[in-house]
């Protein structure tokens, strides 16, 4: 499941001056493996100047689009992979791609009559695009309101496609663009997406009580501000789904450090068993040493990872025995943590024996 597969690039399409979308050719024998749900992401891997670089990018296409598996990659200053993708990748190149992952979605049903509201900033539009297209298609009686923040018109990713969708789903889809570095007629839409803006939108443009699901994607600060505002306005936090792209310097963790037992300050030497694809490997690991993911990689196990920063969830596995200390978590939902799932890139053993199973989903 968590293996990389080599996929050929079908198209590299410029979306803005510093963003390309990349579509992959999925061979027939891998079609099932690369089936995806709206809002999921792919982890890409490439050797760049001798470095094994892995990054996760959300899928922007919708699962109902025939033979379309596409991610968008925005160039970030100093970003190794994003610069490579924007400047060097071409049609016909091959990339190592991990099957789709992620839980940034809710179950759709043609009978639903829901109101979805999404807040996206910059490249945070990518998974929202996939969710929006799929909701509109599968749920003919649902509505979608999108607030999309950018600096200027020229940096709006999928500007035309969004406008086409708005025209196509007239009456069911509402789109508001916010620009932080270009004046618009209404002051309401000048500036960044923030808690304060969200407050005003709740007063003027939608009633939070009338919304069934919220989807937020963008920088940590925006997500924290907007979700706090929504929760203060009485929205059940189960209805607020969010996805971060980069490891935040600060921001709201989905759950705090968990599964710490006994004296967390006490240093112990553990025996850690890691299970992946039915294979097992056991090694000693100090509680104050490297994290379990790195330790397993050093033992030669091809355990999955991308960000190593508690964001992408690629390194998710289940603790089936023992206890660990998970330092940060921006990706797992409280229910998953409750069920024993952890981000192995953030985990250190705190019991004498720990068993980590990557095969349990």
Binding site for ligand FES (CB under 6 A): 305-308, 310-315, 331, 343, 345
Q: How far is the CB of 16 from ligand FES (least distance, A)?
A: 26
Q: How far is the CB of 293 from ligand FES (least distance, A)?
A: 6
CB distance 188 to 198 below 8 Å: no
The smaller minimum CB distance to ligand FES, of residues 71 and 343, is found at: 343
CB distance 236 to 258 below 8 Å: no
CB distance 121 to 198 below 8 Å: no
Q: How far is the CB of 322 from ligand FES (least distance, A)?
A: 19
The smaller minimum CB distance to ligand FES, of residues 126 and 314, is found at: 314
The smaller minimum CB distance to ligand FES, of residues 2 and 343, is found at: 343
What is the edge-to-edge ordering of all strands in the sheet holding 70-74? 51-58, 41-48, 94-101, 5-16, 19-25, 70-74
The smaller minimum CB distance to ligand FES, of residues 313 and 350, is found at: 313
- Pick the closest to residue 116 from 218, 224, 211 (CA basis): 211
CB distance 313 to 295 below 8 Å: no
Q: How far is the CB of 275 from ligand FES (least distance, A)?
A: 17
- Pick the closest to residue 61 from 118, 134, 4 (CA basis): 134
Q: Which residues make Cβ contacts (< 8 Å) with residue 139, sequence separation at least 6? A: 108, 109, 110, 112, 113, 114
The smaller minimum CB distance to ligand FES, of residues 190 and 246, is found at: 246
Plot region of 350 (φ>0 → left; ψ -120 to 50 → alpha; else → beta): alpha
Q: How far is the CB of 356 from ligand FES (least distance, A)?
A: 13
Q: How far apart are CA 227 and CA 235, in angstroms?
A: 9
Q: How far apart are CA 324 and CA 350, in angstroms?
A: 5
The smaller minimum CB distance to ligand FES, of residues 89 and 313, is found at: 313
The smaller minimum CB distance to ligand FES, of residues 97 and 307, is found at: 307
The closest residue (CB) to ligand FES is: 345
Q: How far is the CB of 339 from ligand FES (least distance, A)?
A: 17
Q: How far is the CB of 309 from ligand FES (least distance, A)?
A: 6
Rg value, the chain, Cα:
21
């Amino acid at each position: 499941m968590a293996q990389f597969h080599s996929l050929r690039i079908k198209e590299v399409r410029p979306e803005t001056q510093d963003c390309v979308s990349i579509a992959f050719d999925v061979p027939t024998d891998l079609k099932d493996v690369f089936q995806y749900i709206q809002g999921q992401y792919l982890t890409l891997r490439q050797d760049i100047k001798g470095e094994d670089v892995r990054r996760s990018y959300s899928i922007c296409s919708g699962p109902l689009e025939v033979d379309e598996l596409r991610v968008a990659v925005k160039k970030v200053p100093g970003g190794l992979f994003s610069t490579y993708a924007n400047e060097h990748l071409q049609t016909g190149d091959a990339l190592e791609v991990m099957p789709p992952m992620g839980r940034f979605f809710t179950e759709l049903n043609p009978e639903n009559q829901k109101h979805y509201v999404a807040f996206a900033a910059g490249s945070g539009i990518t998974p929202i695009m996939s969710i929006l297209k799929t909701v509109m298609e599968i749920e003919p009686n649902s509505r979608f309101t999108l607030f999309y923040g950018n600096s200027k018109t020229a940096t709006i990713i999928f500007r035309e496609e969004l406008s086409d969708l708005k025209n196509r789903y007239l009456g069911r889809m509402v789109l508001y663009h916010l620009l932080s570095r270009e004046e618009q007629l209404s002051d309401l839409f000048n500036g960044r997406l923030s808690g304060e803006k969200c407050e005003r939108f709740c007063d003027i443009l939608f009633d939070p009580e009338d919304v069934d699901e919220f989807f937020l994607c963008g920088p940590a600060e925006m997500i924290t501000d907007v979700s706090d505002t929504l929760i203060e306005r009485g929205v059940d936090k189960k209805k607020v789904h969010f996805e971060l792209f980069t490891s935040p310097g600060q921001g709201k963790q989905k759950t705090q450090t968990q599964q710490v037992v006994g004296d967390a300050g006490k240093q112990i030497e553990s025996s850690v068993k890691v299970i992946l694809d039915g294979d097992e490997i056991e090694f000693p690991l100090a509680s104050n040493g490297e994290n379990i993911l790195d330790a397993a990689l050093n033992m030669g196990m091809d355990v999955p990872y991308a960000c190593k920063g508690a964001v992408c969830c690629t390194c998710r596995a289940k603790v089936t025995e023992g206890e660990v200390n998970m330092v940060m978590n921006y990706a797992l939902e409280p229910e998953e943590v409750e069920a024993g799932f952890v981000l192995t890139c953030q985990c250190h053993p705190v019991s004498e024996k720990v068993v980590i199973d990557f095969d349990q989903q």
